[in-house]
Amino acid sequence: MNQSSAALADETLTWTREPAQEPLASNDEALRSIRDLIKAGKRQELVDLLKRWDPVDVMQLLTRLRLKQARKLFKWLPANPSIKVIAELRPEFRSILMEESTLEQFRDILAGVDPEDAVEILNEFPDDVAEELIARLPDVEDIGSRGTYADDTAGRVMARKFVALREDCTAGEAVSQMRAEADRIRKIFTVYVTDADGKLTGTVEVGKLLLAPKDAPLRDFMNRDVIAVSADMDQEEVLRLARKRDMRTVPVISPDGHLVGRITPKQLTRIASDEANEDMLLMSGVSAEARSDDTVFRIVRGRLPWLLAGLVGASVAATVVGSYEDQLAEAAILAAFIPVTMSMAGNAGLQASAVAVQGIATGALWSGDIFFRLFKELIAALFNGAIAGTILGGLVLGASMFIPLEEPVRLAIATSLSLLCVTTLAAMVGATIPIILDKIGIDPAMAIGVFITSSNDVLGVLIFFLMATTFYLG
């Protein structure tokens, strides 16, 4: 028996949980041994070992293996461990591992479980992979109902496993039902209470249920102030509501009030991660569907529109500069301040828009609070612009002592005032545009990046030359 097999036999081959993006040297020996076992084709030894590992550790192992080895190991895993590992993988890793043969493997797995469990499993996959699997299943009537809800809605991500009891059910009966459901539902935080027609009427926290008299009906001590969301509500709105009301789980109801699912803590965390990743991509001028393993065509299709939008903005800014050709010929020193003005405009706009987007995403920016927030942004922008303008004016006057400048005082005044106006206007544009986009149903994160940068570049250059013409060349 080689060293790797001996390690397995002794059950000494272990994995230390790694912090995000920080591989541990202590795992290198386990990594080498597992690579040797994969090369040797020792499937059963590896499966026996990895069954004892936490799915998160298996996921980390897969991401540190070479892609070819990771695919082979993933195919070797039996259904239960592999499904749990898939749940822990980030979308980009899941899409890399999902080959045609693996899709066939999971089709067989899904065909052998009840529809409710199949839907729960499908919720762990990227949408494109889930739809592909649904299309391959022999009977998709129940499972296909997942597709009746639009992407990024509560109905699409909700869990369909929950404990719902009628109002006349006693606390003792409820506890017995929870115990019976323990294997099907791993974590139960809330018991939902319905009327005779199945409509949600209240909730009972598990702790309160355990302390209640066994013969007390649920209607006597349930919480009637129920906060539920419709199945077609956007998942970002669900997240805002959960944060605002400090909700651990969120019930999902149909249009007629029937309980159809719940958003679990794990799903709320995933929604927050998905929305943060989407906003980050949009702010970078990249399509929200972009993945690290995209083909060249998908990369071009996702990025080119944003680059072309930036090109349009830059062209407009260049046109503005070109229209002041005579002023530049008269005072070439003005050209030195164009990058300063454009940079300050872009930075001020991005700062204000980032704060606005964060306030909208977290629900901290209320409709009645908008004008007060904008007023604060205006005052802050005026202070920032005045300070930055004063510093720039001082630098101009200081440089004039060593570099011959024509009319340095007037140049300092022109540049200072232009920086004050540019910073203030850019901040107001950056704070306002995300709010407007949110009101008309467009993701406010789109305001950050190409849109704000391009618009503020144009405004910055225009204001700079207006100030220079008035106070320096006039």
Residue 444 and residue 301 share a domain = yes
Is 99 a member of any domain?
Answer: yes
Is 291 a member of any domain?
Answer: no
Q: Answer yes or no: pTM beyond 0.75.
A: no
Residue 417 is predicted with a pLDDT of 92
Residue with the larger pLDDT of the pair 100 and 443: 443
pLDDT band at 382, cuts 50/70/90? very high
Asked if residue 77 lies in contact with residue 53, where contact means CB atoms within 8 angstroms, the answer is: no
What's the domain range around 230? 164-267
Residue 191 and residue 59 share a domain = no
List the one residue out of 421, 413, 424, 423 whose CA is nearest residue 468.
Answer: 413
Is 158 a member of any domain?
Answer: no
Which residues make Cβ contacts (< 8 Å) with residue 459, sequence separation at least 6? 345, 422, 425, 426, 429
> What's the rounded Cα separation, in Å, for the pair 150 and 228?
18
Which residues make Cβ contacts (< 8 Å) with residue 250, sequence separation at least 6? 154, 227, 228, 229, 238, 241, 242, 262, 263, 268
Is 274 a member of any domain?
Answer: no
Residue 421 is predicted with a pLDDT of 92
pLDDT band at 8, cuts 50/70/90? very low
Is 400 a member of any domain?
Answer: yes
Calculate the CA dihedral of residues 353, 357, 358, 359 and round it to 10 degrees. Answer: 100
pLDDT at residue 397 above 60?
yes
pLDDT band at 5, cuts 50/70/90? very low
Is 300 a member of any domain?
Answer: yes
Token couple for 252: 């999902």
Residue 237 is predicted with a pLDDT of 84
Written in H, E and C, the secondary structure of 195-239 is: CCCCEEEEEEEHHHHHHCCCCCEHHHCCECCCCCEECCCEHHHHH
Residue 287 is predicted with a pLDDT of 60
Residue 387 and residue 410 share a domain = yes
Residue 293 is predicted with a pLDDT of 53
Is 417 a member of any domain?
Answer: yes
Q: What is the mean pLDDT of residues 318-338?
A: 81
DSSP 101-135: HHHHHHHHHHHTS-HHHHHHHHTTS-HHHHHHHHH
Residue 182 and residue 85 share a domain = no
List the one residue out of 408, 414, 412 whose CA is nearest residue 467.
Answer: 414
* Domain count along the chain: 3
Q: What is the mean pLDDT of residues 41-49?
A: 83
Token couple for 162: 């929950």
pLDDT at residue 387 above 90?
yes
Is 288 a member of any domain?
Answer: no
pLDDT by residue (tens digit) across 65-106? 776 777 788 778 765 555 556 555 555 555 555 556 556 656
Residue 121 and residue 37 share a domain = yes
230, β-bridge pairs: 253
Residue 232 and residue 137 share a domain = no
Residue 35 is predicted with a pLDDT of 87
Residue 421 and residue 367 share a domain = yes
CATH number of the domain encompassing residue 242? 3.10.580.10
**Least confident range of 33-37, 79-83, 207-211, 273-277:** 79-83
Task: Give φ, ψ of 346 to 5 degrees.
Answer: -65, -45
Q: What percent of the chain has pLDDT over 70?
A: 72
Residue 26 and residue 140 share a domain = yes
Residue with the larger pLDDT of the pair 3 and 75: 75
**Least confident range of 121-125, 160-164, 455-459:** 121-125
> What's the rounded Cα separation, in Å, for the pair 288 and 295?
15
Residue 316 and residue 454 share a domain = yes
Q: What percent of the chain has pLDDT over 90?
A: 4
Query: Which of 267, 288, 322 is the endpoint of a domain?
Result: 267
Which residues make Cβ contacts (< 8 Å) with residue 185, sequence separation at least 6? 161, 162, 163
pLDDT by residue (tens digit) across 357-372? 777 766 666 666 778 8
Residue 1 is predicted with a pLDDT of 41
Residue 119 is predicted with a pLDDT of 64
CATH number of the domain encompassing residue 105? 1.25.60.10
Residue 464 and residue 406 share a domain = yes
Query: Which of 104, 125, 151 is the endpoint of a domain?
Result: 151
Token couple for 461: 């250059």
pLDDT at residue 341 above 50?
yes
Residue 230 and residue 132 share a domain = no
Residue 120 and residue 14 share a domain = yes
